[in-house]
Structures are given as structure tokens and as C-alpha cells.
Amino acid sequence: MSITITAFERSPDGGMGLARDTRVRWALEEAGLPYAVRPVSFSAMKAPAHLAIHPFGQIPTYEEGELVLFESGAIIFHIAAHHPGLLPEDSNARARAVMWMFAALNTVEPPILELATAKFQEGGKSWSRERLPLVAERIRQRLGQLSARLGDAEWLDGQFSAGDLTMVSVLLRSRPSGILDEFPRLAAYVARGEARPAYQRAFADQQAFNTGRSPAA
């Protein structure tokens, strides 16, 4: 059954790989699944046809036959649940991999997104300069705790899993602010994720998509 995802027609990051389609592309590459990408413009994203697929008017979405999904976490989980390589067989290890997906999206990503909101939606406000360091501090608190848990391990819980894929994708969004690099263990963890061939393919494809250039050979 053919798979189609949606992505920004042109990502606001210009192809840095920080839009949420990249994590879905990565999961599809890890699973070895071919897929098509349908671009959605900012105006189309808020129009009825797209809202019928994604009630919150965002990307990515995932279509596979009758199944229509939104929310990158749910899409990654669906791919991981139906193809080998992204979730452990052992029931307890599987529960922990899912736990790291939720931790990435519900505990680590919110302060990172809050900083983006503070910069881009409230950057012109009089309070912005005083407030940004408070938000950055909330990111540092989470990354410090995560770094302590990761320690010197390669991945969060044994083998690479959908939990790591999601966490690395979320952490990547804290790199432009410089905060990721304050945590050398996390920066190295993210680099291990980026070094995976499946990530490399996903990154090159989204970059080509967003810049209009062919992926590097």
C-alpha cells in the first residue's frame, strides 16, 4: 500500500531538517519504506481540505490506503509498530521505547518550542529580552536531566529505537539556540543519530525538497 506524507511547501527553516516531516521521513527510511511527499502551502494548511486530514492545520500527515494520521509521534509509532527495527521485541523494552517517545514530545520538546514561540511570535514585545533567558533555563533544566540519565550510553535504552529517533529529532531543535552544545553527551548522542544512513537519506531528501536542488549523490 503506497504511503504519502505531507510537508511544508517550503519549510520555514529553509531545509535545515527541523520541520516535523524530517522525523517521519527518518522513520520511513529506517523501516525501508518508499513514500511520496505532497507539499502543502501555508494557506492550504488552513483550508478545509487539509483540515479534514489534520484538524490542527499542521504537517506532517500520513496516508496509507484508508488510514489517515497526523501527529509525528503517532506516525512514527505506527511505522515502528508495523515494521522491524524501531521497537524492541521484548514487551518491557518496548514499553520503555514508547516511554522515551512520549518523554521527547511531552517533556523535552515543549520548552524548546516555547523558546521558538518567544522569539518568533513575541520577539517584538518589550518583555522579550528579559523573558528569553527564563525560557532557555527551562530547556537547560530538561537537557541536564536527560544528559544525566543518558550518561555514557550510546542510546537511551539498549538498542536504537523509535524513542531515540524521536528524542534526537526533538533535541536537534535546540541546536540553533546553542543550548544543545552546552551538553556534550547530548550533542554526541544527536551526532550518533545524524550519522545513521537512514537519517542521512531523510535529511538529504528534505533538503532537496526545500531548496529545489537534487539530493547530493
Q: Note the residues at the interface with its own copies (CB under 8 A).
A: 51, 55-58, 66-67, 69-74, 77-78, 81, 92, 95-96, 98-99, 101-103, 105-107, 109-110, 113-114, 121-122, 125-127, 130-131, 134, 142, 145-146, 148-149
The three cell numbers locating residue 145 = 536531566
Q: Which of 187, 204 has the CB closer to its own copies?
A: 187
User: At closest approach, how far in Å is the CB of 4 from its own copies?
Assistant: 16
Q: Which of 166, 210 has the CB closer to its own copies?
A: 166
Q: Which of 67, 188 has the CB closer to its own copies?
A: 67
Cα–Cα distance measured from residue 186 to residue 151, given in angstroms and rounded to the nearest whole number: 9
Contacts of 84 (CB under 8 A, 6+ apart): 31
Parallel, antiparallel, or unpaired for β 36-40 and 3-8?
parallel
User: At closest approach, how far in Å is the CB of 56 from its own copies?
Assistant: 5
User: At closest approach, how far in Å is the CB of 49 from its own copies?
Assistant: 14
Total Cβ atoms within 10 A of residue 119: 14
Distances from the Cα of 81 to the Cαs of 117, 123, 189, in angstroms?
32, 40, 24
Q: Which of 37, 105 has the CB closer to its own copies?
A: 105
User: At closest approach, how far in Å is the CB of 116 from its own copies?
Assistant: 12
Cα–Cα distance measured from residue 200 to residue 29, given in angstroms and rounded to the nearest whole number: 9
Q: Which of 156, 209 has the CB closer to its own copies?
A: 156
User: At closest approach, how far in Å is the CB of 73 from its own copies?
Assistant: 4
The one-letter amino acid code at 41 reads S
Cα–Cα distance measured from residue 146 to residue 30, given in angstroms and rounded to the nearest whole number: 24
Cα–Cα distance measured from residue 41 to residue 19, given in angstroms and rounded to the nearest whole number: 14
